[in-house]
Amino acid sequence: MGVLLLAGCGSDGGDDSAAPQVPVPDIPCAEGGQVRGSGSTAQQNAMSRWMQQYQLACPGVQLVYNPLGSGAGVAQFQRGASAFGGTDEALSAEDVEGTKEVCSGGQAIDLPMVGGPIAIGYNVPGVTGLVLDAPTLARVFDSRITRWNDPSIQRLNPGTQLPDLPVVPFHRTDDSGTTQNLNAYLKGAAPERWPYPAGKKWQAVGGESASGSDAVSSAVIQTDGAIGYFELSFAVKRKIDTVRIATGAAEPVAPSTTSASVGIAEARIAGTGKDLSLRFDYETSAEGAYPIVLVTYEIVCDTGNRPDSLPALKSFLTYTASEEGQEQLHSIHYAPLPASVAVQVREVVSTLS
């Protein structure tokens, strides 16, 4: 089990004159306290970076994040074991109902905080810059397109010599927010081709499987003709070719932190009151908008937070949603929130009680 822990530390009395000087972020700190969070593994690296930076400015606050997965994060929050939870899917009405006991006089709300593209990685020898659209991608992952030189793929890639090679689609065996978001995209952008629910379980026909993005990306590398889905960082780290998505824009869109931010900006706030859950426009044809995106939410009590952790919780989440906090995400392959959404998140955080 991985635990990210940043605890306040005092001086050891040694000579720090030779220590490298690290810029200290300008953060309005809480005087002290401990903030525990748990949940989504997709945001684990972002949390690690934010905690390191926050600790430089606010050593009196202790921060803990346990990347147990979205479901466990929600469950821990509901039983009062954490001040915030991380989830790759907004809370259901049933989930919210289950938080009213721990949020005395209130309930949990969703605050979008971390964005990112879900890359479609492939291994087709001799083929780079592959373009697919939503209906074709749906047929590929549903094992209805079985060879790479299929006319549907050739039509989207004129001038490319596609091999007569079997298509080997890989999906996740584990319940996954990444799977849920890909399912939601295919169902939203190609409903006539994708009859499956937008859930965390993979239900399409055929294909191969592996547990976790790490294993799926490894399998794609090792298998000629393979195609799979995973967070962009896995494709970058392993130098896996990624699909450009034909959306109806002038040019097909490649996955990047910038194009994902543009895609997220096409979403609208679907929550009510202080809840800021998003509804994505999977059929967007906006220029430069990558449509297969994932947003991780921090779930917190709108009111009824524990007094001993509330000041530190508000300070930390204000920093993560700040311009400085969001701008750091590019360098670790996450997509910053659109500025308009980040402003709303900071406004809501300021009202937590």
Residue 93 has pLDDT above 90, yes or no: yes
Indicate if the alpha-carbon torsion angle 71, 72, 78, 82 is positive or negative: negative
Res. 90 pLDDT band, cuts 50 70 90: very high
Q: pTM value?
A: 0.83
Percent of the chain with pLDDT over 90: 82
Average pLDDT over every residue of 251-280? 94
Residue 12 has pLDDT above 70, yes or no: no
pLDDT digits (tens, 9 = 90+) for 321-337: 999 999 999 999 899 99
Residue 2 has pLDDT above 60, yes or no: no
Res. 278 pLDDT band, cuts 50 70 90: very high
Q: For residues 43 and 9, which has the higher predicted lDDT (pLDDT)?
A: 43
- The per-residue pLDDT of the chain, averaged, comes to 91
Structural element, H or E, at residue 49: helix 44-57
Res. 19 pLDDT band, cuts 50 70 90: very low
Res. 174 pLDDT band, cuts 50 70 90: confident
- Cα distance between the two ends of the chain: 32
Q: What is the DSSP letter of 328?
A: G
Percent of the chain with pLDDT over 70: 94
C-beta atoms surrounding 129 within 10 Å? 12
Q: Which of 284, 306, 124 lies closest to 189 in space, CA to CA?
A: 284
Residue 290 has pLDDT above 90, yes or no: yes
Residue 282 corresponds to which tokens in the numbers above? 């999977």
Average pLDDT over every residue of 89-109? 95
pLDDT attached to residue 22: 56
Average pLDDT over every residue of 185-205? 94
Q: Which residues, 6 or more positions from 270, have their beta carbon under 8 angstroms from its beta carbon?
A: 90, 277, 278, 279
Residue 152 has pLDDT above 60, yes or no: yes
pLDDT attached to residue 271: 94
pLDDT attached to residue 15: 45
